Structure 1
Amino acid sequence: MNLSKYLSLVLAITSTLFINTAFAQNAVKPVISGDYADPSIIKAKDTYYAIGTSSEWAPHFPVYTSKDLMNWEQTGYVFDKAPEWTSGSFWAPEYDYNNGTYFIYYTARRKSDGISCIGVATSKSPDEGFVDHGVIIEHGKEAIDGFVFVDNGVRYITYKAYGLDKRPIEILGVKLSNDGLKVEGETFSMMKDDAGKGLEGQSFMKVGDYYYMFYSAGACCGIQCDYNVGVARSKSFRGPYEKYAQNPILSENEAWKCSGHGTFVKTEQGKYYYLYHAYNKQTTVFAGRQGMLAELTWPEKNGWPKFKEVSGPNTSKDLSFNFTDKTLSKSWQWDFRNSTPKISQGNGKLNLSGAVAASNLTGIALTVRPVSAIFEATTTVINSNTAIKGISYYGDASAAVGVGVTGNQVQFWKIQNKQKTVLASQTINGTGNVQLKFKVASNLEVTTFYKQGQDDWKALNSETKVDVNFLPQWDRSPRIGLNFNGKPEEVASFSDFNLKYTP
C-alpha cells in the first residue's frame, strides 16, 4: 500500500472511530499505557521487569518495573546509545536469564545493508548496565523476534525468518552456545506460514505431555491490522506442531484490537500471566500498541489453554514537568536518526539545542508517549532568539505539526510531504516569557494558543483547520513534546511542560 492510500485510510477510519465509538466503561485497561509494543517480561526476586519495542526512538528499549503486575514504573532503557552495528528499527527485545547473567536478544536493522538481524546484550542487572555483543542471527531478508527456551537442559533460540530459498515465513530454532552469545549446529524449522497470514512473536511452554507454541498471526501494525494470538502443540520441542482448531485464543473485543506478541511470567502463586500488546479502538494508531495483561488458564489436563484478560488500574496519565531537578525524566525520547539533541535541566529550566539532519525540517523533538489522541499540551518559553522554540506533535522528520516562538513572532507550522508551511503567525512582544498551548480535539483537529504576562489565551489558528491524521507511522505512534529548530549555537529554554488528557 502506498503512503497516500495509507493516510487516506487513517483519515477515514480514525475519524469514524472517534465520532462513533464509545469506549466501554467496563472494558479492560492496559497495565502499561501508551505505545509499548512486543513486550517481554521476567521476574527477578520480588520484582517484575518488562522491556518493549522502541522503533526509531532513543533511548532504546524502555524498561519498566512492577511489584504486582498491575502498577508499572519506567526505570530506564537498555541502550542509551544505539549499538554501532545498528541503524534503526529497534523491535521485539526478549529477556533471558542464565547463570547469573541477564540476556536481551533484540531486533535491529543492520547499518551495512538494512537487513533486520537479532543482536544480544548482557548485564548482571535486569534493568541497567547492558553491554552489546553484536549480531547473533542473520537470515535471509529478515530475522526477528528471538525467544529462548530450555529443553532438557539445552538452551535454544527461536526466531521468525523469511526470504531464503523462496520458503514462506517460518519459525526456526537453533542451539545456543553455553555463554549465550552465539549459535551452534544446524537450524531447524518448527512451523511454516503455509496459510499466508503471517507468523511471528512466538513463545513456548512445556505443560504435561506437550510443548505449546503461542504465536501471533496477521498484520501487526497500523490502522488495518488484524493481529491475533494462536496456539499450537507438539510432543517434541522441534515439532511438528498441530494448530488448535479454535484459534485464535486472544483476539479483538469490544474495546481492543490486534492483540499479540507477548511472553509469560510465573507468579509466586504459580499462575502464568501473558504480557502482550493491543490497540485501543478509540485511539488506535495515535496511542500505539499498549501493554496488556492476560492470565493463562487450562480448563482440561493435556487440553488446550485459554486466556482471561486482566484489567489494569485506573490511574491518571497526565504529566507535569517543572525542571527543578538536574536529572532528565525517563519519559523523554527523540528521533535519533534525524537529530542529536543537547539537553540540560535544573533550577526550573530545561535547555534544548543540538544538530539536526539537513532533511529534518522539524528540528529536535523531545517527546513523551501519549496515551490518547485527545489532549492539551502547554509550555512556557523563557528565552528569545531566532530559533523556533515550542511544542511539536511529531510522527517523523517529514510528518509533524507544532506551535513555536521565533523572534517577535509566534507561528503555527506543519511539515508534510517534505515541505514546511507556516499556517498562521502573529507578532508579539519579543521580550518576556511566552506561554504556548497545543490542543487536539475529538475530531483530531488542532488548535493552538499563546499568551504573554497577564493576558488571556489567544487562538493562533482559529481560521486554519488542520488535523493530525498524517502523523502516524505504520509501526509507531506519534509523540508530543518540546521542539527546537535553530542554529547549533542557539538554544530553546523552557520553564515547564504539561500534558493533560481530555475526555
Structure 2
Amino acid sequence: MKRLLFVILLTIMGCCGVHVQAVGYEKIINPVLPGDRPDPTVIEINGEYWAAATSNEWSPLFPIFKSKDLVNWELVNYVFPDGAPDWALNNFWAPELSYDEKQGKVYLYYTARDKRTKRLSCAAAVADSPMGRFKDLGPLVAQEPGSIDAFAARDEKGKLYLIWKEDGNSMGLPTNIWAQEMTEDRTRLIGEMTSLFCNDTPWEEGLVEGVCVFKKQDYFYILYSAASCCDKKCNYKTGVARSKSLLGKWEKYEKNPILVDNQDWRCPGHGTIVRKDGKEFYLYHAYNRSGSVYVGRQGVLEELCWGEDGWPYFRNDAVYNRPNLSLDYVDSFKGNTLAPIWQWRVTQKIDYQTGKNGLHLGASMENRELGTLLVQPVKALNFSLTATVDNRKSMAAAGIGIIGGAHNGFGAPLAGIGISVLKDKVEVWKNVDGKVDVLAQSAITVSATAQVRMTVKDGYWLCFEFRKGQRWIPLATEIDASPYVPWGMGFRIGLCAKGGDGTFADFRKIELIH
C-alpha cells in the first residue's frame, strides 16, 4: 500500500509543479543518499554506479551503495565488514572509489587515524569488485599535521598519482593539496611530492580540501571545497581550478566559488564527478536547511554545466523533494543476519542472533555505559521509533534512543537519551559521557512483550511513551537533545542493550515511521 501511495505522490509532484531535476529519463529526487552520508564518492562500471560514504566511528566501515540511475540507491556492501584494519584507530573519513579497468580491480582510498602515531593518514584497499571482499593495503602517507581526502588520478602520460590534503588547518597552518606518484599496486608512494595549490584566496578561508580530479578536452579540472564543513556555523562551498598538466600550474576560476548555499541546501561540497548520458554530475554532501546538523550531511546530486568561457558552473538549483514516507523502515529481525542498515561502534564487537523470535542482542556496559548500540542514521527531522521487546526473562535493559555527542565539538564523548524496559520497569534516561540521569520511570506489567516509543520533532525535541493496553502513556516530553548533536555527523537512532556480561536484550520488532 505504501509503495502505491509513493507512486501516486511522485505523480502528483510532477503534475503540481514541484521542482524535479532531469537526469536523462530519470528524475533527481534529492537527497539521493538520505541521512548522514558525508564525503560521497561514485564510480561507473559497465553501466552500473557504485557509491560510498564516510563512516566516522560506526562499523561496519564505509558503506557501498549500488544504482542504475544515480538516483535510486541500495546499500549492498561494506568495505570493512569486520571492523577497523589493525593499524587504524578512528576517524574513518572520505572514502574514494576508483576502478582500474586494465587490472579489473576496484580500489578504495580512505582516511583513518594511525594507532601508533595518532596521525590522520591516507590509506588504500582493493577488491575484485565493489561487491567483493576488500583487502586493506595500509597507509600511504601520514604527515605531521595529518593527511586526508585522498584521490587517485593519472597524468597526461598515464602515470598514477595520489592527490591529498595536508591538514595544516588543524595546526593553524595553510593547507596544501599535494600530488605524488604511486605504485600500480597502490602500496607506496614514489618520487617527490608536488604542491598543486593551497588556500590563498579570501573565500577559501582556513582551508582547501575534498578534491575531485577529472579531465575534459585539453584540461584537467579539480573541484575542491573550502571554509568550514561540519557544524552549526558551517560555511562550506565549492570551487574549481584547471591545468593542462596534472602537476600544474593550476589556475583557479575567477568566479569561484561555483557551488554555494541555495534555498534548500547549505554548506555544499566534497563530492565526485560521474558521467551519465554524455553529461557530468556531481554527487556531494550538504545540510538540508530545515534538517540542519541534526540529520547530518546528505548525499545530493546536481548536474555540472559548462560556460562559453570553458569553465564549469552549477545552477545551484538542487531542491529537497524526497517524500518522507520513502524513509520508513520496519524490521522484525527474522532473517539469518542483520539488515545492512544497522551499525555499531567501531570499538565494539557485538554478539547477536536473529530468527523467528526476533533479535537476541548481547548487552554490555560499553560505550560509556550506554551499552551495546545498534543504530542507523537519522534521515528526517520528524519521526517516531517504536520497539517491541520481550521483558519476561531478560536481565538486561532493552530500549531505544538517540545517540550523539556530549557537545558539538570534534571528538566529543558519546551521549544518548532513550527509553528502556527491564522486567517490570520502564525508564527514560540521559547519558552524557558516562554520567547517567533517570528522567522518568514507571512500573509496568511483566508480559510477553512491552512496547516503547520515541517521537522526534524538529530534529531534537524528544517525547517518550510506553504502551498500556490500547493506550500510549507519556513518560517524558519536550526533552531538548540539541546540545548533543555531534560534530561532523547527524544523530543516530536505534537499539540500546545495557547489562552485565552474558546478558541479552530481546527485540521482537522496530518500526520507524516518518
TM-score normalised over the length of structure 1: 0.89
Which residue is 1:187 aligned to?
193
Aligned counterpart in structure 1 of residue 465 of structure 2, from 449, 456, 459: 449
> Pairwise CA RMSD of aligned residues?
2.0
Which residue is 2:486 aligned to?
473
Is 1:218 aligned to 2:218, yes or no? no
> What do residues 28-72 of structure 1 show as CA deviations (whole Å, max 9, x unaligned)?
721110000001111111210000000001110011110011111
Which residue is 1:332 aligned to?
342
**Equivalents in 1 of 2:456, 2:99: separation in Å?**
43
Name the amino acid aligned to 1:96: S
**Equivalents in 1 of 2:457, 2:183: separation in Å?**
54
Which residue is 1:15 aligned to?
none
Which residue is 1:199 aligned to?
208
More displaced 10-residue stretch of structure 1: 322-331 or 44-53: 322-331
Residue 366 of structure 1, CA deviation: 0.6
Which residue is 2:272 aligned to?
263
Structure 2 CA distance for partners of 1:443 and 1:310, relative to 1, 3 Å: closer
Is 1:144 aligned to 2:157, yes or no? no
SS at match of 1:451: strand
> What do residues 124-169 of structure 1 show as CA deviations (whole Å, max 9, x unaligned)?
0123310101111111221000111111211111000044998621
Alignment of 1:196-345 (within 5 A): 196-267=205-276, 269-300=277-308, 303-308=310-315, 309=317, 314=323, 316-337=326-347, 339-345=348-354
Contact 2:395 2:504 in 1 (8 A): no
**Equivalents in 2 of 1:379, 1:146: separation in Å?**
40
Aligned counterpart in structure 2 of residue 459 of structure 1, from 457, 462, 474: 474
Is 1:431 aligned to 2:439, yes or no? no
Is 1:83 aligned to 2:98, yes or no? no
Structure 2 CA distance for partners of 1:58 and 1:443, relative to 1, 3 Å: closer
SS at match of 1:470: helix
**Equivalents in 2 of 1:162, 1:129: separation in Å?**
30
Is 1:404 aligned to 2:420, yes or no? yes
SS at match of 1:265: strand
Which residue is 1:92 aligned to?
94
SS at match of 2:214: strand
Name the amino acid aligned to 1:289: R
**Equivalents in 2 of 1:310, 1:68: separation in Å?**
17
Name the amino acid aligned to 1:38: D
> What do residues 174-226 of structure 1 show as CA deviations (whole Å, max 9, x unaligned)?
00112222111001100011244310001112223322221000111011111
Residue 286 of structure 1, CA deviation: 1.2
> What do residues 78-136 of structure 1 show as CA deviations (whole Å, max 9, x unaligned)?
10121000111100011112221111111001111321101110000123310101111
Name the amino acid aligned to 2:368: N
Count of residues paired in the alignment: 471
Residue 355 of structure 1, CA deviation: 3.9
**Equivalents in 1 of 2:459, 2:164: separation in Å?**
41
Residue 262 of structure 1, CA deviation: 0.6
Is 1:157 aligned to 2:165, yes or no? no
> What do residues 328-360 of structure 1 show as CA deviations (whole Å, max 9, x unaligned)?
1000011223x3321221114111114443x61
Is 1:173 aligned to 2:179, yes or no? yes
> What do residues 360-394 of structure 1 show as CA deviations (whole Å, max 9, x unaligned)?
12111211111113210001111333421110111
Alignment of 1:383-422 (within 5 A): 383-384=391-392, 385-396=394-405, 398-416=414-432, 418-422=434-438
**Equivalents in 2 of 1:470, 1:352: separation in Å?**
29
Extract unaligned runs of 5+ from structure 2: 1-16, 21-28, 406-412
**Equivalents in 2 of 1:323, 1:167: separation in Å?**
50
Contact 1:295 1:310 in 2 (8 A): no
Which residue is 1:371 aligned to?
379
More displaced 10-residue stretch of structure 1: 182-191 or 433-442: 433-442
Structure 2 CA distance for partners of 1:123 and 1:71, relative to 1, 3 Å: same
TM-score normalised over the length of structure 2: 0.87
Contact 2:160 2:182 in 1 (8 A): yes
SS at match of 1:324: coil
Contact 1:264 1:274 in 2 (8 A): yes
More displaced 10-residue stretch of structure 1: 165-174 or 202-211: 165-174
> What do residues 1-36 of structure 1 show as CA deviations (whole Å, max 9, x unaligned)?
xxxxxxxxxxxxxxxxxxxxxxx9648721110000
Residue 310 of structure 1, CA deviation: 5.3
**Equivalents in 1 of 2:195, 2:73: separation in Å?**
37
Alignment of 1:122-133 (within 5 A): 122-133=126-137
Which residue is 1:500 aligned to?
513
Is 1:484 aligned to 2:500, yes or no? no
Structure 2 CA distance for partners of 1:219 and 1:150, relative to 1, 3 Å: same
**Equivalents in 1 of 2:342, 2:459: separation in Å?**
27
Residue 287 of structure 1, CA deviation: 1.0
Contact 1:348 1:496 in 2 (8 A): no
Residue 473 of structure 1, CA deviation: 0.9
SS at match of 1:286: helix
**Equivalents in 1 of 2:47, 2:357: separation in Å?**
36
Residue 470 of structure 1, CA deviation: 2.3
Structure 2 CA distance for partners of 1:121 and 1:485, relative to 1, 3 Å: same
Name the amino acid aligned to 2:186: G
Name the amino acid aligned to 1:192: C
Contact 1:341 1:355 in 2 (8 A): no
**Equivalents in 1 of 2:210, 2:395: separation in Å?**
48
Residue 445 of structure 1, CA deviation: 2.1
SS at match of 1:446: strand
More displaced 10-residue stretch of structure 1: 408-417 or 439-448: 439-448
Extract unaligned runs of 5+ from structure 1: 1-23
Which residue is 2:108 aligned to?
104
**Equivalents in 2 of 1:304, 1:86: separation in Å?**
39
